[in-house]
Amino acid sequence: MSEFDFDLFVIGAGSGGVRAGRMAAAMGVRVAVAEERHLGGTCVNVGCVPKKLFVYASHYADDFEEARGFGWLPGEAHFDWPTLRDNKTREIERLNGIYRNLLVNSGCTLIDGRATLVDPHTVAVGDKTYSAERILVAVGGWPYVPEFPGSEHVISSNEAFYLDQFPERVLVVGGGYIAVEFAGIFAGLGAQTSLIYRGELFLRGFDNEVREFTAEEVRKKGVDLRFGTNIEKIEKLADGSLQAYLTDGTVLDADCIMYATGRVPKVTGLGLEQLGVELRDNGAVVVNDQFQTSVPSVYAIGDVTDRVQLTPVALAEGMALVRNLYGNQSQKVDYELIPTAVFCQPNIGTVGLTEEQARERYAAVDIYKSSFRALKHTLSGSSEKTFMKMIVDRDSDRVLGVHMVGPEAGEIIQGIAVALKAGATKAVFDATIGIHPTAAEEFVTMREPASS
């Protein structure tokens, strides 16, 4: 009989933790999963899923207007925030229930409550302690809001999903994908929206042309972009509205100010430091290729390691961990060519190297690109444009990166990511017959490089 209560104790029932727990249990491993909040983690509750639902909602104003060019004459539309908010919440609660059933039915012991590490083989939840041969930390991240005068009046993306009233005037602060996405959501739902970012241009780390093109398109959607400035202080007025004093001397009035200035690993009070688990300056758990921390019996996956903060990456890490620990395999997660999307308006889809990265790594690079107004908008009247870009190593003809800004960019780039993972060359793209008429066919009809 084992000396431990469990073989594997998972702290956190987000995407990575749930996947690891279920897979291990299916292999006959005795698994416990502890969660202090909602099952499904950030993605299901205050991330990917509800955000995408809000993105869908934010498109309808444009859709109603564009329908006129196709002969549809809709009446005046009215947006009702409580309907969207509450329907979203019901869907999230349904998903919470599914996650609970998945864990329980797989054979995991589900423990509701905040878990902390007592020693390398002991976890405490409330007034109970549990022993485990191995402990997996999969607690994810949490929005970071800096402290400054009036910072107590702002919200993060967590609260944005549950607002009592929809604001008429919104300030979104930040330059990452969460900030850009929420600026588009608020603007699309009818709020007067400003996006404030201290840098020269948002979406740092993306291809520069993609960033510039996206900024132009976001402005077309009515978002007031204010780069090179930041909020110095916020004052709350007697009527409940807010005044933001910017570093450039501007004062902006708002009903809601949302900070999307990054996320940090959710490790405070977890007990990692007391155990001697090595953490980076931002609290990220340091792990090796096998997701093992500096304490051999403690492992970590997902956003808490701050490697690549994407749900599918956490899933891949969870699966690799379990296969290696209990399936006698030796898998490593490949972090190259991870496709990603930004659900701003229009969407961004990207996989592989940016032009800037490619020029640093390769001697000769060819750039293929196209910018056009989609067929739909010849009748809709919209000025929205689509941008596509392909980066090719001239010496090997291998495609190094593909980027798109336009409707359904994520759906299109997912398929192209498979091709890049398989090592596709530009010749393979050229030999592929396009689907006409689609925007995607542009990727197989780019014949001449725009620059070399």
Active-site residue numbers?
A: 436
Distance CA 250, CA 248 (A): 6
Distance CA 197, CA 201 (A): 8
How many residues does the structure list for the chain? 452
Residue 197 CA: distances (Å) to CA of 126, 211, 379, 413: 41, 13, 35, 27
The first and second tokens of residue 327, run together, are: 């399936």
